[in-house]
A and B are shown apart, each in its own frame.
Chain A
Amino acid sequence: MAEFLQSLMAYWESFPADLRFVVIATMQILAVTICVILTVAFTTYFERKVIGSMQGRIGPNRVGPLGLLQPFADVIKLLIKEVVIPQKSNRFLFVIAPLLSIIPALATWAVIPLSDGFVIADINAGLLYVLALTSVGVYGVILAGWATNSKYAFLGAMRSAAQIVAYEIAMGFALVGVLMAAGSLNLGDITRAQAGGLSHWFILPLLPLFFVYFISGVAETNRAPFDVAEGESEIVAGFHVEYSGVAFAVFFLAEYANMVLISALTAIFFLGGWASPFEGWSFLGDDSLLRATSFFWLAAKISFFIFVFFWLRATFPRYRYDQIMRLGWKVFIPITIVWIAVEGVMAWLHVGPWARLAS
């Protein structure tokens, strides 16, 4: 057995270095993608359980123990459903639109540092890449609404385009604040800049930006209470009213993958990513597991934010459209501009938690 493994290793070593690099990268990518898709599957189960118990119901409990196999049953059902392409639609765009939603939702994970030292593509411009790809996501929604050639879909697409665009500005400004504090566009460096325990996380000096970022994230993913793009009670299902079967499943997958992504990004930008909240507690001993940085902490933070998504959905009624636009343009953008100015002046005067900036 050992000899066989050795010969396998020797064979592997005989490949050119570039090829080995590509093979390893592809393996990592597949592993991360499968994990993301599984997370999405159980997120849907988690959502139904959480909202079920918030509304005094049981939630899914028939398929498998505790209903845990429910997501797989759903996937199989959606796979064998017929995909209807409406006659008056633009067939090419109709099929491309779900693809344009899912590609950025998955590919953004390339720059997310999952633990100290593990990131698929450790690029300098990580944050720019994240912003660029999340912006592409809106094309999926607009194209879906336009290609369908249905009035409901068209209205949903218009609403969602204006909404996503408005909240993206607030999101961008909030990220400028994070950049000022971290001094790097690399997501790993942003996390490392928050090392040292709870009191070093950006959530404290950037508290307003944290709220702006997360709420904008909820609006960006078209989740309740900002789900006017879907608005079941007014425009049936908005941009995906005519999508059925697997084409709908792809939109669904993209929406939930984006939710997990926003949760991960919020954890990385404001809650120290993989860092432990107890890092600064030296009385726990030097080799305490509680103080170590690990993927577990990132996963815990992501799960918490996903829970907040569902909590918001179960708690708040849907916003009216003019209220959404007012919140985005007249509340969030002024808050972020003011906070960037405050941060700049504080850094210049060496005051407070920003003092190290101007060193």
Chain B
Amino acid sequence: MDQPKVIMSLMFFTMSLAFYFLATAFYIGYWLTRKDWMGQAGTSLTYVAGFSMTMILIFRAVESGHAPFSNLYESMVLFIWAVTIGYLWMERKYKFKVLGAFVMTVASLAMVSAWLLPFRFKNIEPLNPALQSKWNFLVKILEPLGLEKYAIGWLDFHVFATFIGYAAFAISFAVAIMYIIKIRYEARSKKSFLFDSFPPSKVLDELSYITIAWGFPFLTVGIVTGAIWANYAWGTYWSWDPKETWSLITWLVYAAYLHARVTRGWRGKKAAYISIAGFLAVIFLYWGVSFILPGLHAYA
């Protein structure tokens, strides 16, 4: 069997890795020194990194001949791509560049973990039978064009929605950490060069909510489309396999967060801790379940 051609996507991955490190370094530099040009550099590099990640996804699709989210490595790329796009959109809208120091650190760590994956995770494997679900109507539309292999199905939709959700939670996690730092300094009303440049805690709390308000519906769509797919592939929409159960656990933690925010005595700090717990659950759901717990899910 000849080696699948993953050269282009691997090349873009290596470049992206550098862009993420640089962008993170400049954002942290901006936070520590408050020099505007550093913030500008951070933003520009993040745009470049986002573009480079988009190229990885496109090349993976071309190289593998299916939607580029079928293994751990590809899904990491999708996840980091979504964090980047989500962050850039937030920066445009709310203009808080210090957030970049934290969000891009999370993104860079994710890049490193994807980079450290053994090569067999990065290579292209043929899809096993259960992963081949395509919407018949799309296949029919694409067939005359010879593009039917790019038809997508519930599974692609499921992975895509889930990872948009994870990405939103990752951003919320970074913001929640900033919130907890910030509120300690506000409580002591002490000057602090490092943390005065954070947005006020009230704003951080809002931002954390807004990102979860995006992530929660997406995670829900991910779970429901996963259930629809399972109903086709395994015959039941819910079988309590560890991956499913962990996604339900994560979903419940964020449901608790939403209610904490409307409960006296729970908004603010406790809500922020729930958001952090939620993201830890996401990490376990994403990496822990795949490597530690037995189950039907391969990776996503």
The answer to whether A binds B is no
B contacts, CB < 8 Å to A: none
A contacts, CB < 8 Å to B: none
